[in-house]
Amino acid sequence: MKKHLISFVVDSSSSMYDKIDVIRKGLARFINCFLDNTDIAIITFGEGGSELILPPCRADELTQIPLFEAGGADHICEGICKAINVTNLWIDDNDNNGSPYFKPWVVCLTDVEDIDSCIFGYDEHSHCITEIENTNAYFVMIGIGVNVCYDLLSKFSGTICPIKIDENNLVSFLDLLGQNVCSLLLASIENEEMFVQKWKTLTEYTE
């Protein structure tokens, strides 16, 4: 059976203070779904930069989501680049072991409002976009709330347009996502257009 990796990149900057518990609850609901042969990783970005708080491990062996707190500035580029590094190492390990796998997902959850609130220079921004373009993964940018800068998120997205999610619908969205991982993977095998449409359909259930 093919393996799969989903790396969640979670904004843990100070603006997410009132959303962290909701995200942890949503991620807990996500891993409680039957996710056969799926690895989960969690990267946070906030005070002190980015941190891999959960290296890739089987979802069905997870008992709880690691604790993390909100604080500091928004290091979104650093968080995404760390997720790319985790993804590439996971791909290399499976290639070396001869293990078949689906194209990994990098799913970013953030409320970033504008470029000025992020900590990165032009070079870091450009490097991040180049890394995304050169990585064999789907990038899904999820904006939480009404003030998210979707122009910024679109720069980090590939074929999947940034997704808008109301904070009140975040738990139900992650629950729904967990229930539909298998159908999304099957759609990705058929063709990319079907996969993208499936993601769009999921978001409509939470509006």
Backbone angles phi, psi at 145, to 5 degrees: 105, 180
- Tokens 């064999």 correspond to what residue? 136
Is 49 strand, coil or helix? Answer: strand
Say yes or no to pLDDT of 121 above 60: no
Strand order in the sheet with 105-110: 49-58, 38-46, 4-12, 105-110, 138-144, 163-165
Work out the mean pLDDT of the chain and round it to a whole number: 84
Enumerate residues 6+ apart whose C-beta is below 8 A from 148. 110, 111, 112, 113, 162, 164
Is 139 strand, coil or helix? Answer: strand
Say yes or no to pLDDT of 205 above 70: no
CA distance 38 to 45: 23
Say yes or no to pLDDT of 114 above 70: no
Per-residue model confidence as pLDDT tens digits over 61-101: 888 889 888 888 778 888 999 999 999 999 999 999 999 99
Residue 8 is predicted with a pLDDT of: 95
Residue 203 is predicted with a pLDDT of: 65
pTM of the model: 0.89
Say yes or no to pLDDT of 48 above 90: no
Q: Band the pLDDT of 34: cuts 50, 70, 90.
A: low
Per-residue model confidence as pLDDT tens digits over 127-166: 788 888 888 898 989 999 888 888 888 888 877 888 888 8
In the Cβ-directed half-sphere of 180, how many Cα atoms lie within 13 Å?
A: 17
Per-residue model confidence as pLDDT tens digits over 13-25: 898 888 899 899 8
CA distance 94 to 143: 31
Residue 104 is predicted with a pLDDT of: 93
CATH number for 4-204 (one of 3.40.50.1000, 3.30.530.20, 2.40.50.140, 3.40.50.410): it is 3.40.50.410
Q: Which two tokens stand for residue 60?
A: 């069905």
The domain locations on the chain are 4-204
CA distance 43 to 87: 11
CA distances from 147 to 22, 71, 114, 190 (A): 18, 19, 9, 35
Is-contact 42 83, C-beta < 8 A? Answer: no
Enumerate residues 6+ apart whose C-beta is below 8 A from 200. 161
